[in-house]
Amino acid sequence: MFHTIYVGSTSVCFELENQSPFYAPEPWRAMMDGRIVREGRENVFSLFGLKPGRDYAVTLCSGSREHTLRFTTKDESCAVSVKDFGAKGDGVTVDTTAIQWAVLLLPEDGRLVFPPGTYLTGPIMLKSHMTLELTEGAILKGLTDKAAYPVIPAGMIDMDGDDEVRFGTFEGQPKSMYASLITAEYAEDIRVIGPGRVDGDAQNGIWWQTFQQDPIARPRLLFFNACNGVTVHGIDAANSPSWQLHPYKCWNMAFYDVSVSAPKDSPNTDALDPESCDGVDIVGCRFSVGDDCIAIKSGKLGPEAEAHWPAIQHTIRNCMMAFGHGAIVLGSEISGGIKALSVSQCLFRQTDRGLRIKTRRGRGRECDIDGISFDNIRMEGVLTPIVMNMWYRCVDPDGDSDYVQNRNPVPVDDRTPRLGSFRFSNMECVDAQVAACYCDGLPEQPIESVTLENVRVRFAEDARPGVPSMFTNAPARCRLGLWFENVRSVRLKHVIVEGQAGEALLTRGVEEIITE
């Protein structure tokens, strides 16, 4: 009936076992020691404030059914309050120094606790083998003064060799950047847990107003570089100067029951952008931001055409995305490729697109995207549920060049990206507006295969026109059906499109169409 997906020293995260996207079919309540400790409808929920090294039993009651689950919290070396190191948490005092000293002095496997309060701070650097806990009512709030954010260099040459040690990055390339509010580099075994809040407060600073004028990349809210074994559980993240949660070249990452928000008009405030990571679990999270909700990336070829790490083995499950440009986005910085992405039991609400792939000529032959599956997805008011765009118009210097945008075939070479196999099954999309599906491959390198099975798309009666796919001179569409251009194989089984204008299926340059 339910199981644990994370057990820490003071918190636990549960997942209900059903097939319903994000919400359970019936309300539930969780009982512990004869009292209700949580109740709701979400498929994923958490408990906080537990004791380390203790045995617990939680009973979940839903309708006439109940099930009891037993678990044991992890041990830890100690727990200390950040206030004992001089942090005030009064919303007035700058607590940066006190917080950083607390982190540095914390014993291995210790937990640094933030009691209720508002802690004004600049960037904080975490270390290995620690837990940072924001209790209920605790807010870690970023200073709005740019001078409070040190600049992290893009990289430095190893003094004992010729290799570069990378520190800073943004949008797929090495770049000096302002330090993020919470940062960890070359570390392991870190936990950032809630239920408190990390707030960048960017709306009260200059980050969103001057982001295109500064050669140094804006801070993120949480940034992890080359880290192993990081878990972010239960926090409420908001109002980052740019991308909110950004793991870069990390492995064994997990984001459980996290909430990320920013105003709909805030620039580049992607919720979660795992870049060139190996093994990322995103489960039970809620995203509502001004840009993409989840954008999976793997670097971008620059003038030196350096190699990039692929993004592999990512799982996204039981999440809700709202009001972003795209719910699940691949790219556009994906020169290292993406392999083995599974998205299931998710709810998308009023995003511009559901799945959105952004690539183009010039991303390189290592930009190989393959093994992508979406299953058991519900979309409500999503303008275009599926978009695959190999002509993406981006802000790169050559983004509008004839090489990138010319619709005539060019030779396949080291600059040519590839889109492999994609499968969409058991999807219900209501109140779509622009297009049901828009897949637009390259004539010299068509998309390999797109399979839709048990998919239903219904257009809104008051649908308005829009651009389903961003490329140069892209025409506006309204209630366009399934559009496939330059795709080798299209397989449609039990696919229904309702309320479209014109034919439900439109193809150009498709080698094989199989319908059932």
Q: Report the catalytic residues.
A: 291, 325
Closest to 364 in 3D by CA, of 306, 297, 277, 446: 306
DSSP labels, 444-459: SS-EEEEEEEEEEEEE
Contact 43, 20 (CB under 8 A): yes
The token duo for 439 is 């897949």
Residue type, 496: I
User: Which 8-state DSSP code applies to residue 276?
Assistant: S
Taking the C-alpha atoms of residue 48 and residue 13, their distance in angstroms, rounded to an integer, is 9
Contact 93, 121 (CB under 8 A): no
Residue type, 370: D
Phi, then psi, of 235 in degrees rounded to 5: -75, 160
Taking the C-alpha atoms of residue 13 and residue 54, their distance in angstroms, rounded to an integer, is 16
The token duo for 243 is 């991308």
Closest to 111 in 3D by CA, of 89, 126, 96: 126
Taking the C-alpha atoms of residue 404 and residue 393, their distance in angstroms, rounded to an integer, is 8
DSSP labels, 52-108: TT-EEEEEEEETTEEEEEEEEPPP-SEEEEGGGGT---EEEEE-HHHHHHHHHHPPT
Closest to 337 in 3D by CA, of 420, 223, 234, 405: 420
* Residue 289 burial class via C-beta count within 10 angstroms: exposed 0-12, middle 13-18, buried 19 and up: buried
404 SS3 class: helix
180 SS3 class: coil
Taking the C-alpha atoms of residue 102 and residue 2, their distance in angstroms, rounded to an integer, is 37
Question: CB-based contacts of 306: which residues, under 8 Å, 6+ apart?
Answer: none
Taking the C-alpha atoms of residue 366 and residue 369, their distance in angstroms, rounded to an integer, is 9
405 SS3 class: helix
**CA 120 to chain CA centroid, nearest Å:** 26
